[in-house]
């Protein structure tokens, strides 16, 4: 499944969603206007008349009834309804602007401790890490819904940098590793295909429409002890009539709000059902194991609790979940997911309709890693994908630009297998260091230590002065593992460390980034890896802390021609094959941008510096998806123009792709 096509489809669905919700809002405005006119017509016959005793009596006057068509009233009602819906939607959107973690915690999710010794939680973390490394996205935070015994899961977030994966306790306890991988693959499809942001928009819009009904219900609830009789206050006014009027307003709001909510939920459910079919197909494509996903669906169908959610807090995000979390009303019209048997038959046409109940929880304390599901079972004959020894000039097996771009946004069995082998061959001490903020910081310091002994000594002294003796001790502890580290392990280690680094408070984040910058510039130059590490880290942490800042500002190629030319020039110089070779590879990339090819000028190294390159990438990050897509394609053709992709070039290409929010998996090294 093409990543860019999936993203474009998600944007198209968003545009269609806006149109449909506009129609729902129009219906809500119309109902509000009719209710207002009806109320005015009902109260028009009653006017107070002063008597000779200086008091008031209510007399009926058969005056003319208000017209049903009142443009000024319609305008006023429309503005009021739109203001209420808009403010309520903005409020709900602001609640989720903190990212996926805010969504998970709103439904009582508990973040999984990376040091957990619970075998089920450890298995889940391993599966999520494998898929994140394979797809090239930052490792999502993982949450458990401890109070939910049903089998269900969801992914949430605004970008890949703030995404989370949450599963219920029942999912952990009832599914095998293959089935869990199928469910997680389904959720990664939502992450890669742009569904998460669409889901949050759905939630905010539906809440905005529902707010009118909630306001009406609140008014009626506040009047539950009020008298609706004709009593008067000390000024002689009919207080009972005022109560009746307020109650009528509350009733109108309740009816109008829930009419709009009804249609909003219909739209929400229809959009969600189609996305679930797509996510199922993607999960099967990712894992090439349809039995894993269908096994999970069959267990939901056979389990007494199914996929039902116990907490009402989850109702607002029911369309996020892997399976139907709540009973659907109106004959299934509000169902956010297709029926289980239809989903299974879409994957396995031979399905006989038989569901089965999940087995009871078993004791896995004394099982092997494979039988406990902590590691996947692999045939013994599978040859190693990774090279047996590190080499700074290692060549990427996928040497064509087409292969590099085709891997964007995809999860394939080969990529998952490669990520599993890559993680298995990563030194255990370094993997443990990625699990805590303190050690993760020192690990990144260690990755930046220079090969030159004198520069390395200065860097170590600088770390000791900035981070203290404990950090220096950790550098010594990491030394044996670092000597065995291969080049292809470095960026995946950063991916693994990101969940821990996101927990750094702002007071600690600044000094940490400053220390990294000093280490990078200690030798007076910046390598492709150093730039990639710094750019990936800063970009991911920034989006993770403020995901709503990812906005589109440039929609024309003409607005970013100088930036594209600079990026392609930097990539062309990365191979160090000389000026003539760099110009030739630049031309190969520029040829992928036919609309502006003649306007792209190749720059020599003296025409730019690191700051200009960094600024160019930041500006391109605000460009529309087609611009970012073609820029990544062009950069990949620059890298692959000479028939090979070296590790430094691959790292630079991944940094560019990640900055432009295009997930690119690790490219497989040739043995």
> Other C-beta atoms within 10 Å of 657: how many?
24
Task: Supply the residues annotated as catalytic.
Answer: 187
Do 445 and 473 meet the contact criterion of CB atoms below 8 Å apart? no
Q: Per-residue b/e over 171-206, b at no fewer than 16 CB within 10 Å?
A: bbebbbbbbbbbbbbbbbbbbbbbbbbbbbbbbbbb
Alpha-carbon distance of 386 to 488, in angstroms, equals 9
Distance CA 455, CA 437 (A): 26
What distance in Å separates the CA atoms of residue 327 and residue 329, rounded to the nearest whole number? 7
Q: Give the span between the Cα atoms of 341 and 530, in whole angstroms.
A: 51
Q: Tell me how far apart the terminal alpha carbons of the chain are, to the nearest angstrom.
A: 28
DSSP 451: S
∠ CA 88-268-263, rounded to 5°? 75
Burial class (CB in 10 A: 0-12, 13-18, 19+), 543: buried
What tokens does 661 get? 């929010």
* Helices 490-501 and 528-545, packing angle to 10 deg: 20
Distance CA 424, CA 420 (A): 6
Long-range contacts (CB closer than 8 Å, 24 or more residues apart) made by 375-380 = 375/126, 375/420, 375/424, 376/177, 376/181, 376/420, 378/417, 378/420
Best CA proximity match to 623, nearest among 548, 562, 560: 560
């Amino acid at each position: 499944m093409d990543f860019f096509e999936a993203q474009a489809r998600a944007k198209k669905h968003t545009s269609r969603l806006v149109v449909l919700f506009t129609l729902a809002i129009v219906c809500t405005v119309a109902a509000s206007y009719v209710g207002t006119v009806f109320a005015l017509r009902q109260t028009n016959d009653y006017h107070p008349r002063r008597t000779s005793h200086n008091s008031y009596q209510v007399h009926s006057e058969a005056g003319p009834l208000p017209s049903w068509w009142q443009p000024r009233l319609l305008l006023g009602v429309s503005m009021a309804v739109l203001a209420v819906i808009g403010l309520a939607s903005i409020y709900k959107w602001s609640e989720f602007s903190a990212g996926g973690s805010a969504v998970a915690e709103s439904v009582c999710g508990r973040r999984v401790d990376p040091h957990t010794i619970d075998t089920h939680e450890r298995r889940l973390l391993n599966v999520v890490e494998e898929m994140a490394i394979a797809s090239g996205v930052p490792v999502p935070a993982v949450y458990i819904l401890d109070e939910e015994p049903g089998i269900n899961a969801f992914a949430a977030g605004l970008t890949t940098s703030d995404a989370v994966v949450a599963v219920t306790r029942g999912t952990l306890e009832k599914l095998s590793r293959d089935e869990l991988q199928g469910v997680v693959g389904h959720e990664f499809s939502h992450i890669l295909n742009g569904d998460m942001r669409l889901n949050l928009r759905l939630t905010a819009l539906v809440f905005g429409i529902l707010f009118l009904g909630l306001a009406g219900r609140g008014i009626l609830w506040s009047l539950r002890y009020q008298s609706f009789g004709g009593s008067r206050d000390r000024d002689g006014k009919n207080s009972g009539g005022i109560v009746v009027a307020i109650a009528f307003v509350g009733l109108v709001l309740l009816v109008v709000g829930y009419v709009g909510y009804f249609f909003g939920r219909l739209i929400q459910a229809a959009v969600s059902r189609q996305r679930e079919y797509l996510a199922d197909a993607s999960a099967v494509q990712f894992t090439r194991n349809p039995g894993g996903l269908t096994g999970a669906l069959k267990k939901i169908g056979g389990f007494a609790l199914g996929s039902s959610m116990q907490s009402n807090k989850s109702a607002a995000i029911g369309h996020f979940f892997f399976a139907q979390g709540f009973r659907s009303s109106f004959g299934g019209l509000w169902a956010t997911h297709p029926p289980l048997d239809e989903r299974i038959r879409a994957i396995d046409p031979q399905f006989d309709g038989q569901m089965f109940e999940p087995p009871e929880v078993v004791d896995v304390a004394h099982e092997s890693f494979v039988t406990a599901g902590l590691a996947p079972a692999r045939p013994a004959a599978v040859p190693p994908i990774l090279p047996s020894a590190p080499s700074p000039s290692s060549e990427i097996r996928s040497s064509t630009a087409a292969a590099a771009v085709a891997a964007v946004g995809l999860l394939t069995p080969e990529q998952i297998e490669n990520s599993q082998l890559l993680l298995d061959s990563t030194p255990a001490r370094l993997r443990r260091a990625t699990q805590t903020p303190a050690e993760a910081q020192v690990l990144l310091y260690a990755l930046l230590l220079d090969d030159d002994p004198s520069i390395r000594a200065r860097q170590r002294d600088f770390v000791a002065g900035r981070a203290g003796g404990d950090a220096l001790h950790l550098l010594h502890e990491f030394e044996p593992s670092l000597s065995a580290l291969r080049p292809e392990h470095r960026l995946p280690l950063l991916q693994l460390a990101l969940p821990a680094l996101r927990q750094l408070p702002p007071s600690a984040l600044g000094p940490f980034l400053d220390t990294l910058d000093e280490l990078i510039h200690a030798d007076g130059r910046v390598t492709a890896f150093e730039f990639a590490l710094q750019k990936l880290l800063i970009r991911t942490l920034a989006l993770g802390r403020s995901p709503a800042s990812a906005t589109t500002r440039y929609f024309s190629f003409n607005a970013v021609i100088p930036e594209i030319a600079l990026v392609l020039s930097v990539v062309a110089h990365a191979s160090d094959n000389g000026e003539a070779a760099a110009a030739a590879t630049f031309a190969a990339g520029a040829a992928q941008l036919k609309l502006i090819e003649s306007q792209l000028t190749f720059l020599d190294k003296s025409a730019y510096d690191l700051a200009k390159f960094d600024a160019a990438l930041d500006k391109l990050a605000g460009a529309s998806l087609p611009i970012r897509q073609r820029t990544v394609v062009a950069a990949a053709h620059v890298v692959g123009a000479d028939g090979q992709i070296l590790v430094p070039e691959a790292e630079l290409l991944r940094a560019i792709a990640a900055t432009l929010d295009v997930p690119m998996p690790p490219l497989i090294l040739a043995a």
